[in-house]
């Protein structure tokens, strides 16, 4: 699954269709580390119990030239309490699958800080929910993280999905952009003026906002509030000196409630029109972030919220979705995308430990959706670890076919790669089973007839080359 490379190309012919690369096409940044992971805090310890994840991250870093960034955050971030005298480095109560409270001490940061490849950049989510003693708990977390992680700590987040706080009973109705912005500035001032921050050789910055609700899908909002990037930057959450990025979360589908669960579908996931619908709602949000001086990132995402769904989230169709999703995000200016991991979640691309689930014994392993990362590693590699530019191609823009041009610079002649994704569903699971996924959800559907193929001929101004399009795995 390597994207093919061409230089100085003008036209691509796919069957009888001609795909032009318009010269005035808008180009956005394609960062080498666009693809990252978000790890639920209570899953950090299970992930580092063996070398599976670090080996995979080392392999990816070798291809790209820089390691994937890791955010340690999620719902449990606002249920995390720092306790210096804890008997072990972390304790999940009642247990690490159902977590009410997660307790940590300082060496918990060392555990995951030293596990990932050198130069890995970390984002850590502080507990904003717990205001007691003027965020005494968050201050202790910040001090420990700065002290232990040093230069690898790139950004703090203050709270996770703060637009669900009223619904969770953590803030009173009426808590909105004005109140949040005041609290955000108060806590960041406290951190910036603390001795540990002042004395730190490397000073981390901040990822602001961290909103969950999709702006154009009002029936998926958990509470009445005014949170979005447009409103929050208008309310004064602007400080490009310390805000490196604004984060929103996005899960195209959901298993969280019966209504959305009944709509779960792989056909709807592996569909470029849907990817466009889901992501284009963030175009005005991206513009608002950019106007405020910092880029927008998808700080936490995956196929379906509330842990995903076996048979959808762990398929090669999901790998096609993630590939298209990341490139579409980049083409509208979203510079980083963090795929969420729980050590026993159905959507996790990597499962670090064996576990019993739905009556089956699942092994540790790599799931199909990890191949999106591997594929994209080859797309973003090769500019000496520097950012490239990307454009979505207007002539490859249907529900089952998308295309992108990747440039090493801003000029048309800087064209480096073309990436085409055939998202058409083709059922072909036969005699195969991944022991780290549920066998009960393996599809037994087999599409009839011959698997369709797309072939392309690349016509270049200087060279004529034949290229084989990327096919569905």
Ligand X SMILES: *[C@@H]1O[C@H](CO)[C@@H](O)[C@H](O)[C@H]1NC(C)=O
Is 161 among the residues that bind ligand X (CB under 6 A)? no
| Shortest Å distance, C-beta 449 to ligand X | 9
134 lies in the site for ligand X, by CB under 6 A: no
118 is a contact residue toward ligand X (CB under 6 A): no
Q: Which pair of tokens denotes residue 438?
A: 């549920």
Candidate ranges 64-72, 133-141, 289-297, 342-350; the one touching ligand X (CB under 6 A): 133-141
Binding segment for ligand X (CB under 6 A), chosen from 29-37, 85-93, 274-282, 338-346, is 274-282
Return the residue of 111, 117, 215, 293 that touches ligand X, per CB under 6 A. Answer: 215
Residue 40 to residues 82, 125, 302, 368, 375: CA-CA distances in angstroms? 16, 10, 13, 21, 25
Q: Is 427 in the site for ligand X (CB under 6 A)?
A: yes
Evaluated on CA atoms 394, 399, 401, 405, the torsion sign reads positive
Crossing angle of helices 272-280 and 316-331, in 10° steps, is 40
Q: Nearest distance from residue 435's CB to ligand X, in Å?
A: 20
Q: Does 278 bind ligand X (CB under 6 A)?
A: yes
d(CA 97, CA 309) in angstroms, rounded, equals 16
Is residue 132 a contact point for ligand X (CB under 6 A)?
yes
Question: What does 60-72 look like in DSSP terms, one character per residue?
Answer: HHHHHSSPPPEEE
Q: Provide, rounded to whole angstroms, the least separation between the CB of residue 384 and ligand X.
A: 27
Binding of residue 453 to ligand X (CB under 6 A): no
Binding test (CB under 6 A) with ligand X, winner from 130, 183, 255, 302: 130
Distance, in Å, from the CA atom of 125 to the CA atom of 115, rounded to the nearest integer, reads 18
* Shortest CB 360 distance to ligand X, Å: 15
What is the CB-side half-sphere exposure of residue 447 using CA atoms within 13 A? 9
Q: Which two tokens stand for residue 51?
A: 């070398």
Decide: is 62 part of the binding site for ligand X (CB under 6 A).
no
* Residue 182 binds ligand X, judged by CB under 6 A: no
> x-or-dash pattern for ligand X, window 1-40, by CB under 6 A?
----------------------------------------
Q: Under a CB-based contact definition with an 8 Å cutoff, are residues 438 and 422 in contact?
A: no
Residue 231 engages ligand X in binding (rule: CB under 6 A): yes
Which span (67-75, 152-160, 360-368, 391-399) binds ligand X, by CB under 6 A? Answer: 391-399
Distance CA 175, CA 225 (A): 7
- Find out whether 368 and 434 touch, Cβ atoms under 8 Å: yes
86 contacts ligand X (rule: CB under 6 A) = no
Tell me whether residue 9 or residue 274 sits nearer to ligand X (CB atom).
274
Angle at 315 (CA atoms; ends 270, 271), nearest 5 degrees: 0
150: contact with ligand X by CB under 6 A: no
Pick from 428, 425, 404: which is nearest to 416 by CA? 404
C-beta of residue 469 within 8 angstroms of C-beta of residue 3? no
Number of residues that bind ligand X (CB under 6 A): 36
214 interacts with ligand X by CB under 6 A: yes
- List the one residue from 274, 320, 374, 421 that touches ligand X (CB under 6 A): 274
In degrees, rounded to 5, the angle at the alpha carbon of residue 226 between the alpha carbons of residues 225 and 227 is 100
Among 137, 302, 313, 369, binds ligand X (CB under 6 A): 137
Q: How far apart are CA 445 and CA 401, in angstroms?
A: 22
Stretch that binds ligand X, among 28-36, 61-69, 92-100, 185-193 (CB under 6 A): 92-100
3-state SS of the chain: helix, strand, coil percent to 5? 30, 25, 45
Which residues sit at the interface with ligand X, rule CB under 6 A?
50-51, 81, 94-95, 97-98, 130, 132-133, 136-137, 214-215, 217, 220, 226-228, 231, 250, 252, 268, 273-274, 276-278, 392, 394, 397, 425-427, 445, 447
């Amino acid at each position: 699954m390597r994207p093919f490379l061409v230089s100085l190309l003008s036209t691509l012919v796919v069957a009888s269709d001609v795909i032009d690369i318009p010269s005035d096409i808008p180009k956005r940044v394609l960062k080498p580390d666009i693809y990252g992971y978000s790890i639920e805090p209570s899953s950090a310890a299970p992930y580092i119990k063996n070398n599976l994840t670090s080996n995979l991250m080392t392999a990816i870093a070798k291809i790209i030239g820089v390691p994937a960034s890791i955010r340690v955050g999620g719902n449990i971030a606002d249920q995390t309490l720092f306790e210096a005298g804890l008997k072990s480095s972390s304790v999940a109560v009642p247990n690490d699958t159902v977590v009410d409270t997660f307790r940590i001490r300082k060496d918990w940061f060392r555990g995951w800080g030293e596990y990932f490849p050198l130069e890995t950049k970390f984002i850590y989510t502080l507990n904003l929910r717990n205001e007691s003693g003027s965020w005494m708990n968050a201050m202790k977390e910040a001090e420990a993280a700065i002290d232990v992680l040093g230069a690898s700590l790139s950004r703090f987040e203050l709270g996770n999905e703060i637009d669900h706080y009223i619904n969770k009973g953590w803030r009173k109705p009426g808590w909105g952009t004005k109140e949040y912005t005041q609290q955000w500035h108060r806590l960041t001032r406290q951190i910036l003026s603390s001795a540990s921050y002042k004395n730190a050789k490397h000073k981390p910055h901040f990822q602001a906002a961290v909103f969950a609700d999709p702006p154009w899908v009002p029936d998926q909002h958990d509470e009445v509030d005014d949170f979005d990037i447009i409103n929050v930057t208008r309310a004064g959450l602007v400080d490009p000196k310390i805000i490196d990025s604004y984060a929103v979360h996005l899960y195209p589908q959901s298993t969280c409630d019966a209504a959305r669960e009944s709509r779960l579908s792989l056909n709807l996931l592996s569909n470029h029109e849907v990817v466009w619908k889901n992501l284009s709602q963030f175009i005005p949000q991206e513009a608002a972030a950019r106007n405020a001086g910092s880029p927008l990132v998808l700080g936490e995402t995956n196929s379906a919220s509330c842990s995903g769904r076996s048979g959808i989230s762990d398929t090669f169709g999901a790998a096609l979705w993630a590939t298209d999703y990341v490139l579409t995000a980049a083409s509208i200016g979203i510079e980083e995308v963090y795929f969420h991991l729980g050590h026993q979640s159905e959507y996790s691309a990597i499962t670090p430990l064996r576990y019993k689930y739905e009556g089956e014994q699942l092994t540790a392993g790599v799931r199909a959706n990890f191949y999106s990362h591997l594929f994209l590693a080859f797309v973003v590699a090769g500019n000496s670890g520097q950012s490239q530019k990307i454009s979505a191609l207007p002539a490859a823009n249907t529900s089952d076919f998308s295309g992108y041009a990747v440039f090493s610079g801003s000029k048309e002649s800087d064209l480096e790669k073309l990436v085409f994704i055939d998202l058409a569903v083709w059922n072909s699971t036969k005699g195969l089973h991944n022991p780290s996924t549920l066998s009960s959800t393996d599809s037994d559907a087999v599409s009839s007839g011959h698997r369709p193929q797309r072939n392309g001929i690349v016509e270049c101004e200087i060279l004529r080359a034949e290229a084989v399009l990327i096919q569905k795995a």
